[in-house]
Amino acid sequence: MPRVRFVQQDGSGKSIEVGRDVSVMLAAVRNGIHGIDGECGGCLDCATCHVYVDEEQASSVPQPSEEELELLSAVSGERKPNSRLSCQLKVPAPLDELVVHVPARQS
Amino acid sequence: MTGLVIIGASYAGVQAALTARDAGYSQPITIVCDEGWLPYQRPPLSKDFLLGRISEQNLILRDEAFFEGKQINLVLGQRATLLDLRARQVTLAGDNALEFEKLLIATGSRARRIAVEGADFDGVCYLRSVTDAVDLKARLTDAAEIVIVGGGFIGLEVAASAAKLGKKVTVVEASSRLLERAVSPVLSTFLLDTHLRAGVDVMLDETVASFKGNDRKVSAVVLDNGAVVHADLVLVGIGGVANDEIARSAGLRCTNGNVVDEHGQCETSDIFAAGDCANHFNRFCESWVRLESVQNAQDQAKAAGLAIAGARAPYENVPRSWSDQYDVKLQIVGLAGQYDRQAVRGCVDGGRFSVFYYRQGRLVAVDSVNRPGEQMAARRLIAAGISPAPEQAADPSFDLKSLVTAGDKAGA
């Protein structure tokens, strides 16, 4: 089973198993990862699941849609080139572990 | 007596347990819920779930491993029937009892029932729980003509889903416009046009007099004006009612829900409430409000969870919500209420615009249609107490985010 590692602001991390068809956001919520709210359940309405994809892996995930980019343009935490909404992210094959960093705030 | 007992395992109940635990609450936590399901996502029930785009399994929000990991005891399928504040005890159906040191009431709300002749006929449905949704989805498969009673969020979302499934849909709304309590006339008209274009029949200023049936199965809706609309399925969406009976009977103060402070605390110490069943004073709305939204449930529950753990941070967020109908993404921040001025930004006919609402010169709410970036900027403006001039708001070339950034710098 592929995994996602969530790294918090203080550097602490937690790695959890996630199916390739389950979003990183849902995996976070189901496992109680601090700092990822995912209020809207993944329909691109709330921007409360902002994460930074690890820089070394940024090119491994598909590019964000125009709609996601529009939401990302106004996230509450710092916007970076590797900012993504985790509801739109899945662990892409052949990656075994996707590493994402949780921002300081979501709203 | 020890530990925290939470009544209700939806967004508020689960969030409060999680926040309390993460904030260092070390006593036992028990969540009791009358539903037999693991906590699930409610927003998709009226949309993607009805359309078959999300399975029952993928509705699950938190699974057993989550509760085990957080050492939270989950008791499903058991209704709390009695609350005794003096004995600090919650009685469950079947006469089991849970003792508590602290209690959080997160009993939510239920669909308001329609009280007309024939309301108990088979085929007159409501949508609140996953059980309702599974039933409605099955009935939709067989139905051809559907009448939706109520042009609010639930009614319009189900209307959109049913229309997408190729059904003949009629919406009956008692007021003169759709979503009257939530949005401005500009939005109501836009949504009306959207539904009409999708082939939905919308009857405004009309109320239901009775339901007709064959063998106690609904066959038609009779309106007060005498008109008869055929229906083999009826969905009633006429608002929600707070589930505050258990709190009331225990003597807790309830006025349209449990009255709570900014920490989700009731007037009785160690007793908290959050989510749809709680009524709080919201400084952005300048009024007491009982909100039915995921954001309110989660954010209020966070404040309550922190207070339960002894680490206090007040709940003072701008209310926000959303609705998806067809290709319309409607996002709302703030409560417009009695606004005295509005500014429209973007193109209403093109289906991409925001409406800014002002009260005494202050920006109090923004509705956005397919303008998520604008909505995000508006949320931050209202939270920061920054009001663009109405002329700036209406000018698409004016950069709203520049005000947010300026505000951040001023506050830094």
- CB neighbourhood size of B338 (10 A): 11
Contacts of A37 in chain B (CB under 8 A): 298
- Where do the H-state alpha helices sit in B276-327? 294-308
Query: Mean pLDDT per segment of 10 residues, for chain B of length 412 residues?
Result: 92 97 97 96 94 91 92 96 96 92 98 98 98 98 97 98 98 97 94 98 98 97 97 97 97 97 96 98 93 95 98 93 95 92 96 96 96 91 95 95 73 45
Q: Does A82 touch chain B (CB under 8 A)?
A: no
CB contact under 8 A, A32 and B298: no
- Given CB atoms, is B61 within the 8 Å cutoff of chain A? yes
Task: Give the whole-angstrom CA distance, residue B232 versus residue B107.
Answer: 32
CA A69/CA B309 separation, integer angstroms: 38
Q: Which residue has the higher pLDDT, A64 or A74?
A: A64
**Residue of chain B nearest A34, judged by CA positions:** B22
Dihedral sign of CA atoms B44, B379, A48, A65 in order: positive
Note the pTM of the prediction, 2 decimals: 0.94
Residue B278 CA, distance from chain mean position: 12
Q: How far apart are CA A55 and CA A101, in angstroms?
A: 10
d(CA B242, CA B250): 15
Name the residue with tokens 């960093």. Answer: A101
The answer, for B317 touching chain A at a CB cutoff of 8 Å, is yes
pLDDT level of residue A41 (50, 70, 90 thresholds): confident
- The answer to whether the Cβ–Cβ distance between B373 and A71 falls below 8 Å is yes
Whole-angstrom Cα distance, residue A26 to residue A49? 9
**Cβ of residue A29 closer than 8 Å to a chain B Cβ:** yes
The C-alpha atoms of residue B295 and residue A93 are separated, in whole angstroms, by 33
CB contact, 8 Å: A28 with chain B?
no
Residues of chain A in contact with residue B376, where contact means CB-CB under 8 angstroms, are 47, 71, 73-75
Q: Which of B121, B101, B139 is nearest to B1 (CA)?
A: B101
Of A107, A89, A77, the residue nearest A99 (C-alpha)? A89
A70-98 residue pLDDT tens: 889 878 889 999 999 999 999 999 899 99
What is the count of residue pairs from A and B with beta carbons less than 8 Å apart?
71
* Secondary structure of residue B291 in the 3-state scheme: coil
Interface test with A, best of B42, B58, B323 (most A CBs within 10 A): B58
- CB of B294 within 8 Å of a chain A CB? The answer is yes
Of B22, B317, B401, the CB nearest to A34: B22
> What chain A residue is nearest to B316 in terms of C-alpha separation?
A107
Query: Could you tell me the CA-to-CA distances from A37 to A86, B23, B75, B218, B297 in Å, in that order?
Result: 10, 16, 24, 41, 12
A70 touches chain B (CB under 8 A): yes
Please report the pLDDT score of residue B1 as a whole number: 53
- Would the CB atoms of B380 and A32 count as touching at under 8 Å? no
ipTM attached to this prediction: 0.86
Would you call A16 an interface residue with chain B, using a CB distance cutoff of 8 Å?
A: no
Query: CA B98, CA B27: separation in Å to the nearest integer?
Result: 14
CB-nearest to B331 from A30, A45, A107 is A45
C-alpha distance from residue A90 to each of A66, A86, A97, A99 (Å): 18, 8, 11, 11
A74 touches chain B (CB under 8 A): yes
* A102 at interface of B, judged by CB pairs closer than 8 A: no
- Of residues A31, A39, A74, nearest to B66 (C-beta): A31
Give the nearest chain B residue to A44 (CA atoms): B372
Q: Would you call B320 helix, strand, or coil by DSSP?
A: strand
Q: For residue B397, what are its two tokens?
A: 């070339």
Residues of chain B in contact with residue A71, where contact means CB-CB under 8 angstroms, are 372-373, 376
The amino acid occupying position B253 is R
Residue from the list B43, B60, B62 with its beta carbon closest to the beta carbon of A40:
B43
Interface test with A, best of B41, B48, B55 (most A CBs within 10 A): B41
- Contact status of B88 with chain A (Cβ, < 8 Å): no
Interchain CB distance below 8 Å, A46 and B66: no
